[in-house]
Amino acid sequence: MKDSNRSIQLDRFAILLSGVCLVHCLIAPIILTLLPIFSLTTLVEDIVFHQLMLWIIVPTSVVALILGCKKHRRWQIAISGGLGIMVLFMVAFIGHDLFSIQAEKVATTLGGLLLAWSHYLNYRACQSISCGNPKCASDHHH
């Protein structure tokens, strides 16, 4: 698989992962409210969930953004993605000590949205490049 196609696939996967995180962040407070008996267990699982997701998100995002930026040369996209990763990393590992549960959810959501937006921009930038090859239409997704 060519690097550009790999980047596109990884961007799609990373956007999906960001959606999973967003759904998790939106549903967790509802579960805590409706099922207070599970509050402590859910809080611990929430922390572990964010840390485990980073083991998937970080490598996927780094590879996708670097492959894309090597092609389209818009490094600000990788920088904004890096900022999103830093926010997610900070919240996952020290956010529970710094923020309330609500503020932690907001910070995680903002970091995830920034990362997802970066992947979307990376995806679009990769698709907008024309290689000049007559077979380009069959090799790339424009």
Provide the residue range defining the domain that includes 81.
3-139
Tell me what pLDDT residue 4 has: 61
Give the predicted TM-score (pTM) of the model. 0.71
Angstrom distance (rounded) from CA 55 to CA 93: 12
pLDDT for residue 41: 54
- List the pLDDT tens digit at each of the 142 positions of the chain: 566 677 778 888 888 887 777 776 667 666 666 665 555 555 556 667 777 788 888 888 898 899 888 888 899 999 999 999 999 889 888 887 888 878 888 888 899 889 989 999 998 988 887 655 555 544 444 4
- What per-residue confidence (pLDDT) applies to 77? 94
Distance, CA of 30 to CA of 64 (rounded, Å): 33
Domain count, the chain: 1
The span from the CA of 130 to the CA of 135, in Å, is: 11
pLDDT attached to residue 138: 43
